[in-house]
Amino acid sequence: MDEAVRETLATDPRMSTLIDRHGPVQIQPADSPFRRLAVSIINQQLSTASATAVRERVFDQLGTVEPSAVLAADESALRAAGLSEAKVDYLQHVARAFQEDDLTPDGLAHLEDAAVIDRLTDIRGVGEWTARMYLIFALGRPDVLPLGDLAVRRGIQALYGNGRELDREAMREIGDRWRPYRSYGTQYVWLEYED
């Protein structure tokens, strides 16, 4: 983790404690952006354990997690692996989008985060949560605060709420302390929440 990231986050005393507890984290582009987006689609509205099981079966079924493999896959086999009909449809739309457009870190490098979200959410099955996960985990963008993620909201509330509920505006203000490295702050919130 870059020293500038550590210094910025450490100005928040709670975040400083998390850095000491969990050590450095990394935010970097994924080796396979398509695979990362497929993971986000599969994970939608599933518990971690369920998502992991379904993902393993689907990826075994595909053999290789590439757009061409998704488009060539037998839909009934994907459903038998645990995907709903809607998620099969979503994966196919994402696969077509990857074949038609450069959605890799290099292909989207010229776009601001908001423009990437707009572009991704034009794809059927990709909502704002999925787009923000893509910004962090596929593109390696350093300043994303995904308040659509339940674990992030619960984690921030547990760390900063002092026993009271926090609305999203209050959570945004907390996240503003971590700018321009909110993705890193988010990683620490996830680590603490999952601990």
> For residue 137, which amino acid is it?
F
Query: What is the pLDDT, as a whole number, of residue 45?
Result: 82
- Reduced to 3 states, what is the DSSP secondary structure of residue 122? coil
What is the Cα–Cα distance from 4 to 117, expressed in whole angstroms? 26
CA 172 to chain centre: 18
Query: What is the pLDDT, as a whole number, of residue 127?
Result: 93
Ramachandran sector of residue 124 (left: φ over 0; alpha: ψ -120 to 50; beta: rest): beta
Domains annotated on the chain, with CATH: 3-27+145-194 (1.10.1670.40), 33-137 (1.10.340.30)
Q: Are 113 and 143 within 8 A, CB to CB?
A: yes
Helix axes 113-121, 128-137, angle to 10 degrees: 130
Can you give the pLDDT of all 195 residues of the chain as single tens digits?
Answer: 899 999 999 999 999 999 999 999 999 999 999 999 999 999 888 888 899 999 999 999 999 999 999 999 999 999 999 999 999 999 999 999 999 999 999 999 999 999 999 999 999 999 999 999 999 999 999 999 999 988 899 999 999 998 789 999 999 999 999 999 999 999 999 999 987
What is the Cα–Cα distance from 173 to 189, expressed in whole angstroms? 15
Query: What is the pLDDT, as a whole number, of residue 80?
Result: 96
